[in-house]
């Protein structure tokens, strides 16, 4: 333990030490000014900032994290220390670039019918007979999360594995959930920050949807009736995730590029690149390109389409590509998926007559 931390904490009891930690968190969350922080804490721990360029600053906060390891902590206190670490990690130093601080639009990728994928930037492809695990998306900058697709022996997506900092969650398309090897018996379920009661992870159901959300904007929603999964990243993940679902930078043309920047247009090369384990050599991935299909044009392009009310909210082109790569069954898979996703956005549209009764859905 350093002389500084010794001088700071030797005279404090457990309650006072915890209060010092809470002061750090309050400062990060804007509940305490710098002057107030200075009065209650050592000047050494007052945040410093550097002006990097006009309108661009970097904030640095020194946190005596080594203190946690220096104490001979009880199991309860170790849990508290880990929770504290998680909380501080959430609000760690950021660059005060006003453009980066603006809330960007979230990015959404889709898995439809277990073998049709739409990347965050709208590129569409299919996987068949792929008994394998693939990295779907990951924060490669800070490793805050990783999403892994687990395929069944029949070649369809069966489970999404979510690796967070201290948790491993198996999100089965059936709606069943396992957290760190233990099944979630009942929902809603939440993981709560013991410091301030913030919800770190929440799992709940709404109609046919099972939904998982994290405190930093990751969201996964699966509909077990229509075989759809939505994978949602917050706006701050723009351009900093990578995996089978692309670079998330609004440039679909580079979605197949490799992690080292190597240009690539071959989906089978991309699949091999992001394969983790399993019988990946039998993968038969293929790009889904647009095919001239009059019925699909009617559904996803024409101004009199029963789906038209949603065109300005959910881009129809990827679903038209899915629709045009098959017969009537593929028409209905694409339109039903589009209908449900639009319903998530609060847009009521109608199923085409070809695919059943002309009725309206609104899930949320």
- Tens of pLDDT, residue by residue over 196-213, are 788 999 999 988 899 999
* Beta bridge mates, 138: 146, 242
Q: 267 and 122 share a domain?
A: yes
What total of structural domains would you count in the chain? Answer: 3
**In this model, does residue 97 exceed pLDDT 60?**
no
Residue 193 inside a domain? The answer is yes
Alpha-carbon distance of 48 to 58, in angstroms, equals 8
pLDDT the model gives residue 62: 64
Q: Which two tokens stand for residue 124?
A: 């569409």
Alpha-carbon distance of 329 to 233, in angstroms, equals 30
Residues 64 and 45: beta-carbon distance below 8 Å = yes
Q: 43 and 116 share a domain?
A: no
- pLDDT band for position 14 (cuts 50, 70, 90): low
The mean predicted confidence, pLDDT, of the chain is 78
- Choose the final residue of a domain: 65, 85, 101: 101
pTM over 0.85: no
Characterize the bridge pairing of strands 168-172 and 199-206.
unpaired
- pLDDT band for position 361 (cuts 50, 70, 90): very low
Is residue 307 helix, strand or coil? coil
**In this model, does residue 5 exceed pLDDT 60?**
no
**In this model, does residue 26 exceed pLDDT 50?**
yes
**In this model, does residue 89 exceed pLDDT 70?**
no
Residue 363 inside a domain? The answer is no
Least confident of 36-40, 170-174, 261-265: 36-40
**In this model, does residue 237 exceed pLDDT 80?**
yes
Bigger pLDDT: 246 vs 330: 246
Alpha helices in the chain (DSSP H): 3-9, 14-28, 34-40, 66-70, 75-90, 98-101, 267-274, 294-300, 317-324, 328-344
**Number of Cα atoms under 13 Å in the Cβ half of residue 132:** 23
pLDDT the model gives residue 358: 41
Residue 360 inside a domain? The answer is no
Q: 183 and 76 share a domain?
A: no
Q: 173 and 255 share a domain?
A: yes
At CA 260, angle to CA 262 and CA 321, rounded to 5?
Answer: 60
Residue 74 inside a domain? The answer is yes
Least confident of 122-131, 248-257, 295-304: 122-131
Strand order in the sheet with 286-287: 189-192, 199-206, 209-214, 219-223, 228-233, 107-112, 116-118, 124-126, 286-287
pLDDT the model gives residue 235: 86
Q: 223 and 322 share a domain?
A: no
Instruction: Report the sign of the C-alpha dihedral through residues 92, 98, 99, 101, in that order.
Output: positive
Q: Can you state the angle between helices 317-324 and 328-344, rounded to 10 degrees?
A: 160
Segments forming the whole domain that contains residue 337: 294-355
Q: 112 and 92 share a domain?
A: no
pLDDT the model gives residue 288: 58
- Find all residues with CB under 8 Å of 209, minimum gap 6, and list them: 221, 222, 223, 344, 363
What number is the average pLDDT over the span 66-70? Answer: 47
Q: 43 and 61 share a domain?
A: yes
Phi and psi angles of residue 35, each rounded to the nearest 5 degrees, phi first: -65, -40
């Amino acid at each position: 333990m350093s002389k500084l931390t010794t001088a700071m904490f030797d005279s404090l009891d457990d309650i006072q030490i915890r209060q010092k930690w809470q002061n750090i968190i309050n400062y990060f969350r804007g509940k305490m000014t710098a002057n107030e922080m200075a009065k209650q804490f050592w000047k050494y721990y007052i945040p410093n900032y550097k002006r990097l360029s006009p309108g661009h600053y970097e904030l640095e906060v020194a946190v005596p994290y080594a203190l946690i390891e220096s104490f001979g902590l009880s199991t309860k206190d170790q849990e508290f220390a880990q929770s504290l670490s998680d909380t501080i990690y959430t609000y760690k130093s950021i660059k005060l670039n006003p453009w980066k601080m603006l809330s960007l639009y979230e990015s959404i990728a889709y898995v439809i019918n277990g073998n049709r994928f739409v990347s965050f930037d709208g590129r569409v492809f299919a996987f068949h007979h792929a008994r394998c695990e693939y990295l779907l998306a990951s924060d490669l900058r800070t490793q805050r999360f990783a999403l892994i697709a687990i395929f069944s022996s029949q070649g369809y997506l069966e489970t999404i594995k979510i690796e967070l900092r201290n948790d491993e969650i198996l999100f089965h398309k059936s709606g069943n959930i396992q957290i760190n090897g233990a099944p979630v018996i009942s929902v809603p379920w939440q993981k709560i920050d013991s410091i301030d009661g913030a919800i770190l992870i929440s799992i709940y159901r709404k109609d046919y949807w099972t939904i998982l959300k994290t405190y930093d904007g990751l969201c996964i929603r699966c509909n077990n009736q229509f075989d759809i999964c939505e994978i949602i990243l917050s706006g701050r993940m723009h351009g900093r995730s990578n995996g089978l679902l692309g670079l998330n930078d609004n440039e679909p043309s580079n979605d197949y590029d490799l992690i080292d920047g190597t240009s690539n247009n071959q989906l089978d090369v991309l699949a091999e690149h992001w394969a983790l384990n399993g019988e990946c050599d039998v993968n038969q991935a293929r790009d889904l390109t647009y095919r001239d299909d009059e019925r699909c044009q009617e559904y996803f392009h024409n101004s009199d389409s029963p789906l038209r009310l949603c065109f300005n909210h959910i881009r129809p082109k990827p679903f038209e590509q899915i629709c045009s790569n098959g017969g009537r069954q593929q028409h209905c898979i694409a339109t039903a998926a589009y209908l449900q996703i639009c319903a998530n956005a609060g847009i009521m549209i109608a199923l085409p007559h070809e695919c059943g009764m002309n009725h309206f859905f609104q899930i949320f």
